[in-house]
Amino acid sequence: MDKQTFDLLVLIWTAIALLIFLLLLFVTAPYGRHSKRNWGKTIPDRIGWFVMEVPALIIFLFFIITGTAEKTLAVWIVAALYVMHYLNRAVIYPWRIRVRGKEMPLVVALMAVLFNFVNAGFLGYYTGTLHTHYNGEWLTDPRFIAGLLIFFTGMVINITSDEKLIRLRKNRSNGYRIPRGGLFERVSCPNFMGEMVEWGGYAILCWSLPAFSFFVWTFCNLVPRALSHHLWYKNHFPDYPIERKAVFPYIL
């Protein structure tokens, strides 16, 4: 595939994200605390998370390994950062969360699989075949260095916030509690904020259209979900801190 056609497909894919964003402002995806039984067949949450996320690893690595571009150190670093996130998301995270008895609609898992096939395909194909700037000089470029720092900042926020939620649920015999401490004192969903920061940094360090598209998709998916979580907390806890925002401190 030539780069002009590839870029056009990525732009169309990005435009779809903006449409999904508008839809998600009115329709909350029915899994997790928003789970519903009227979306057809369901599967256990733990299996669902694994099924949803593992294609992101397989497809991305396939395109990196089979790609025709030179496998420079920069390529392997870009690939390793992506793999680090999805090893946690697909393999580690699903087996640590407290989801006994919880299920998600199969259609939700399949939609996530479709997203990961396309998204990982674009990222992997660009990095493995189309890139022209992932050379030794790119590792000292200010965009790569700044993006790397932002990426790891977001990853730390994402993982530590998830860890607080996991511990909170393990120490609770049933139901949910108000998360406390750290960035939870500022926003309801610092884990989502961290993931957006993470992929924003990735878009900068990659400096590619597919990586930017991934950031847009992350934003368009997680901002509406954070708003839904925030409203859920306020509806379920009369004493929920009024100063907290949904996902961006002091802003939203």
**How high is the pLDDT of residue 162?**
87
pLDDT for 109 = 84
pLDDT of residue 247: 94
d(CA 216, CA 15): 9
Are 17 and 220 spatial neighbours (Cβ–Cβ below 8 Å)?
yes
Question: How does 94-103 read in b/e, with b if 16+ C-beta sit within 10 Å?
Answer: beebbbeebb
Per-residue pLDDT at 208: 96
State residue 182's pLDDT score.
Answer: 86
Within 10 angstroms of residue 93's Cβ, the number of other Cβ atoms is 18
Query: In the prediction, which pLDDT does 168 show?
Result: 78
pLDDT at 92: 84
The domain segmentation of the chain, as residue ranges, is 3-236
Tokens (6 digits) for 69? 């571009």
Instruction: Answer yes or no: are the C-beta atoms of 230 and 246 closer than 8 Å.
Output: yes
DSSP track, 213-225: HHHHHHHHHHHHH
Q: For residue 200, count other CB atoms closer than 10 A to its CB.
A: 22
Largest Cα–Cα separation, the chain = 58
Q: What's the whole-model pTM score? A: 0.91
Res 98: pLDDT: 66
Instruction: Give me the residues of the chain with pLDDT under 50, please.
Output: none
Closest CA to 194 of 171, 230, 163, 168: 163
What is the distance between the alpha carbons of residues 60 and 55, in angstroms, rounded to a whole number? 8
